[in-house]
Amino acid sequence: MQDIQLGRSDLKVSPICLGTMTFGEQVNEADAHAMLSRALERGVYFWDTAEMYSVPARAETFGATETIIGNWFRANPGKRDQVVLASKVAGPSRGMPWVREGKGMTAADIVASCDASLRRLQTDVIDLYQIHWPERHVPAFGNLYYDPKKETSETTIREQLEALAGLAKAGKIRHVGLSNETPYGVHEFVRLAEQHGLPRVASVQNAYCLINRSWENGLDETCDRLGVSLLAYSPLAFGLLTGKYDESGITGPNAPKEARIAGYESVRKQRWGRPESLVGAKRYNQLARDHRMTPAALALAFCYTKWQVASTIIGVRTMAQLEEDLNVWGTQLSEDLLREIDAIRWELRDPAQ
């Protein structure tokens, strides 16, 4: 795997990123440490976390993932310099008062969250510090429509950038990124950064997979022209694109209870739990089998090879899943297969948008 440059920054990352939101909930600390070590051995040195992790978010596991990663750094002296570490400051509460009491994400919130993450991660600096979701009211996490009547934002984008600039000046962060953003948000963050000499966003972390290609309807042009990279999360659609739910569905006696959608009601209420999402996933999974591929291989190869994607974030529950995901690297999809993928999308669009 060759290094990938993020946006117009000088930050280089591996084209596969280890997502860690399962650590502390579905993955215990010992297993998580083994996965971190194995990922690094195999060249995956770009790791992503967030202050609100583990997922599903609970007060009892708030910050657990960062703590586990920090303990790995402590147990492996000298390895921190081999890792590009990304974390995120949570946006407005979204029903999680244990993350933040206020409804917004003030400049003081950003600084306090960063300081707390640094303590948990047991590091002096975060290489890529991202805003997990906008403070603005935007259609994200499966919500389709923008409604200006619901706007309650308290902090301007410029104020957010100034807070991030202060963290960068203090040496606490190196680069900044966004997540779950819109074309407007990306444009404004870049415009204001260039206008006022503030940190320029290097990347946007948004959902991107076979059943959610909404990135390709506006954000791809925005980020290509502005020089901002996509970090694609949920390439396997929370497991729907592995085929594990094809026969059982996401509920019922034969559904894999250890998996996220089947195991957590809060996840089933999200876009991944929609009946339409499973219908779409099953079409792509069968397409993979028709081409003598596993469903996961098709879904991952799709992300690994798309020009829109700089780095694909994989989330795993077991070491076997980690190895399987990494082994897909290098798989190429034929032009005929890509046309068949596009034909399904034309019919079903983006059911997990």
Task: Show which residues are catalytic.
Answer: 53
What is the DSSP-derived secondary structure letter of residue 88? E
Do 244 and 304 contact (CB within 8 A), yes or no? Answer: no
Token representation of residue 174: 């190196």
Token representation of residue 207: 């959902």
Beta strands at 12-13 and 173-179: parallel, antiparallel or unpaired:
unpaired
Length of the chain: 353
Phi-psi region of 247 (alpha: psi -120 to 50; beta: other; left: phi over 0): alpha
What is the rounded end-to-end Cα distance, in angstroms, of the chain?
Answer: 29
Residues 6+ apart with CB under 8 A from 11: 5, 84, 127, 128, 174, 175, 202
E strands, the chain, where? 4-5, 12-13, 16-19, 46-48, 84-89, 126-131, 173-179, 201-207, 229-233, 309-315
E strands, 212-334, where? 229-233, 309-315
Tell me the β-bridge partners of 174: none
Bond preceding residue 183 cis, omega within 30 of 0: no
Q: How many Å apart are CA 301 and CA 228, to the nearest integer?
A: 22
Residues 6+ apart with CB under 8 A from 305: 331, 332, 333
Distance of CA 243 to the CA centre of its chain: 21
